[in-house]
Amino acid sequence: MSGIDLRGLNKSELAEYIKSIGEPAYRAKQLFRHIQKHGADDFQSMSDLPESLRSYLSENTSLVMPKIIDQQTSAAEDTVKLLLELADGERIEMVLMLYERWQAHNRATCCVSSQSGCAMNCRFCATALHEHFRNLTAGEIVAQVQIADKLAYDMGFAGITNIVYMGMGEPLANLDAVKKSLELLNDEDGMNIGMRRITISTCGIVPKIREMALWGYQIGLAVSLHAADQQLRQKLMPGAAHYSLDELLDACKYYREKSGRRVTAEYALFAGINDQPSDAAKLANLLTESDILVNIIPANPLPEAGIQPPEEAVINNFCHLLEEKGLNVQLRRKRGADIQAACGQLRRRQA
């Protein structure tokens, strides 16, 4: 890889660069569309640019595009997991989820990684097993969506419709790159993904949630809760429990007020850990006045940590108890567990 990665530049940055090398301003818009709308990874394919400019860019800049190392498709053929290698040899995983729907447009969701590991050290997450990792750049995040977009087309869908920052890493620990990537993906001259079709999932970094609220973007916010009392949450999510549950809920309320978007609380059920009626009662008491949607997720097995999902009857009873208390509950359908592509299973390994 040589020079600056143009995939991570927004319009103004690209315009400044084009100006600095003595090219006319309109070349920046041409280049931006090639990179962001069409996912170009080769300057020579940009036939509307002069040969001299293409050669200069090839020698002095780069278009970082991760290499696909491994690809796995679930038995249901509705989930695809990709193992990608970045330019410096770091590896990440990303997931494509396909939804065929009656009486509505089909949906293709890309689950992107924002880091090549994670420092939150959640006890139920395979990503936390990696000791060495780094933040991804905006260009590396955008590239994941572009790869997924082409794959979705190949599988008969009309490209990516939705994006969730729920892959490897804590997005709010790499917030500048995440913000820049979603602005690039939202740009009308790029992939033009609507802000309301983008969701960021976080363990609950309170100051960063409040910072997001001031962006003025209608992005979905999902907060990983997984426990309704501070002591258990600190045990399950040691890196995320620096803030009290009251502080976290206040930040969620602030985000709701500023963005106009309802916040989702992610609650994974772990057998014998947080799945009892008493846990449901605590969760109901915590969230009754919050207008938060509760997303119940049967845990995906992580043998190294002794994590297993509860029995189906326990799951159904837990949801029923929450609904009796007036909470809006959604039970998430499992996808991709057979290829280690479900929540908490990403760990950058080959099959």
Can 93 be counted among the known catalytic residues? Answer: yes
The one-character DSSP state at 298 is: E
Q: Choose among 254, 250, 248: nearest CA to 214.
A: 254
Annotate 9-43 with b (16+ C-beta within 10 A) or e (fewer). Answer: bebeebbebbeeeebeeebbebbbbbbbeebbbeb
Q: Cα separation of 52 and 49, whole Å? A: 8
Catalytic member of 90, 93, 140, 170: 93
State the pairing for strand pair 220-224/198-202: parallel
Q: Is 13 assigned a catalytic role? A: no
Pure H helices in the chain: 11-20, 26-32, 51-60, 138-154, 175-186, 206-213, 230-236, 245-259, 277-287, 312-324
Nearest to 303 by CA among 123, 103, 111, 179: 123
> Which residues are identified as catalytic?
93, 343
